[in-house]
Amino acid sequence: SPVEMAKRMACHMAVDENYPKHPKVIGIGSGSTVIYVVERLLTKPGVENVVFLPTGFQSKELIVTSGLRLGDPDCYPDVDVCFDGADEVDDSLQCIKGGGACLFQEKLIGFLAKRLVIVADSRKNSHMLGEYWKKGVPIEVMPMAYTSILPQLVALGALDPKLRMGAPGKAGPVVTDNGNFIIDASFGLIKNPEGLFEKIKLLVGVVEVGIFCNMISAAYFGSQDGSVTVKK
Ligand code: DER
């Protein structure tokens, strides 16, 4: 489909422009776009010697089924580059992540990486967070704390924050790869992502917040006409 082609073009350019000369450890994000990053990585010289860090179960499956070497962040904390998707990116390269409920491990690997490169289709390319992504800021919380966190998010300005429920076939809430719950909290247009992130992160029981501030090195957005827009 045109959107899949757009994702593929963005990923191929992102890998070509950010593949290190002598890579040792590379992080692989979660979602439907990052698949094309692995597709391109498989064409790179020396990729068979690189250790790949996953950002969740789906990411681990992608690494293993692609025949790539699997590592974990406690053994390989020095990450050359991480490629990951996003739900929305603003003009300051702040972004919302967590649509796939993998935001904790994504932020950990992204933090460990010298460079965090985002790949997405052009829908995710906004001037300000909240323009496109209307499902709210994903927040990973300890299950026993979610009822106490909801009203505190309302006090911070959230509109109707909700526990993310499982898709059909999963009764009850989504449980993350780390055994936690996800709350989605809408704040409308987010003029000050960093300030909002800091306030939410301090709430008791919050494990991680799907606002990534001052972490992204570059973002590649594929359009359906085959062009790629780069923000860096
Ligand atoms: O959860 C995340 O942040 C993922 O990276 C994800 O939302 C991006 O998903 P997509 O590549 O399928 O749009």
ipTM of the complex: 0.97
Bridge pairing between strands 181-186 and 79-84: unpaired
Of the candidates 205, 70, 191, 86, which has an alpha carbon nearest to the alpha carbon of residue 144?
205
User: For 107-139, how does the pLDDT look when each residue is reduced to its tens digit (9 = 90+)?
Assistant: 999 999 999 999 999 999 999 999 999 999 999
Ligand 1 within 6 A of CB of 84: yes
Using the mean position of ligand 1's atoms as its centre, give its distance from the Cα of residue 160 in Å. Answer: 23
Ligand 1 within 6 A of CB of 30: yes
Using the mean position of ligand 1's atoms as its centre, give its distance from the Cα of residue 30 in Å. Answer: 6
What local confidence, expressed as pLDDT, does residue 182 receive?
98
Ligand 1 within 6 A of CB of 33: yes
Ligand 1 within 6 A of CB of 62: no
The pTM of the whole model exceeds 0.90: yes
What local confidence, expressed as pLDDT, does residue 45 receive?
92
CA dihedral 203, 205, 210, 211 (to 10 degrees): 20
What local confidence, expressed as pLDDT, does residue 24 receive?
98
Question: How big is the chain by its Cα radius of gyration, in Å?
Answer: 17
Bridge pairing between strands 51-54 and 88-89: unpaired
106 tagged catalytic: yes
Low-confidence spans in the chain with pLDDT less than 50: none
What is the C-alpha separation between 5 and 12, in angstroms, rounded?
11
With the most atoms of ligand 1 within 8 angstroms of its CB, the residue from 87, 109, 118 to mutate is 87
Taking CA atoms only, the protein residue closest to ligand 1 atom 6 is 31
Ligand 1 within 6 A of CB of 85: yes
Contact 86, 121 (CB under 8 A): no
Active-site annotation holder among 88, 106, 140, 208: 106
